[in-house]
Structure 1
Amino acid sequence: MAFRLPGFVQRKKALRRSLSGIKEAALKSTNIPKGHFAVYVGEEQKNRYVVPLSYLNEPAFQELLSMAEEEFGYEHPMGGLTIPCREDIFIDFTSQLN
């Protein structure tokens, strides 16, 4: 069951970070706010999202990370985790965690 919160559009914009090459990603990796971490989401092109560390306490997010570990491992050339799902699903999923 999905919940639509009034601030969904703002959170979606806050989460969306585009990835345009390793050099830009390396620069961005130093700009992660305290209490957050980077994940890469997408099927063909991976886009970068910065999410709060508090998501690590959520059982649903832990399951998503387990799936990511099985498929990709925990190393990513851009310096973040790769999440094996479509971006729209990830955005809907994370909006429910807030």
Structure 2
Amino acid sequence: MMMISIRLPFEKKKLMVPKGYFAVYVGEVEKKRFVIPLSFLNQPSFQQLLSMAEEEFGFTHPMGGLTIPCTQDTFIHLTSLLHAQTQ
């Protein structure tokens, strides 16, 4: 049996998400991609962000992935707190 290897372009590799994580887009004007642990989905403060995203975007997100409607600074602050809680 012959194995065929397909190399992904650099851009595709960059967009891959490790197992146990998911990507979100955050920002008011310019969206930045963040890769965060799936465990955040269980946190009430993160669930609140998801509710905000649902209210603003419904289930159609402009970036093609989950978009969180808050500033990047707010998101970084929240995820820093969540990382500290899960350690």
Q: Name the TM tier (shorter chain).
A: 0.7 to 0.9
Structure 2 gap ranges (5+)? 1-10
Q: Under a length normalisation based on structure 2, what TM-score does the superposition of the two structures give?
A: 0.75
Q: Larger Rg: 1 or 2?
A: 2
- Residues 18-57 of structure 1 aligned to structure 2 (within 5 Å): 24=11, 27=12, 28-29=14-15, 31-57=16-42
Structure 1 gap ranges (5+)? 1-23
Equivalent-residue separation in structure 1 for 2:60 and 2:36 (angstroms): 17
Q: How many equivalent pairs are there?
A: 72
Q: Under a length normalisation based on structure 1, what TM-score does the superposition of the two structures give?
A: 0.67
Which range moved further: 77-86 or 41-50? 77-86
Change (3 A) 1:63 1:39: same
- Residues 1-98 of structure 1 aligned to structure 2 (within 5 Å): 24=11, 27=12, 28-29=14-15, 31-98=16-83
Q: CA RMSD in A?
A: 1.4
Aligned residues of 1:37 and 1:80 also touching (Cα < 8 A): no
Runs of 4+ aligned residues of structure 1 deviating over 3 Å after TM superposition are none
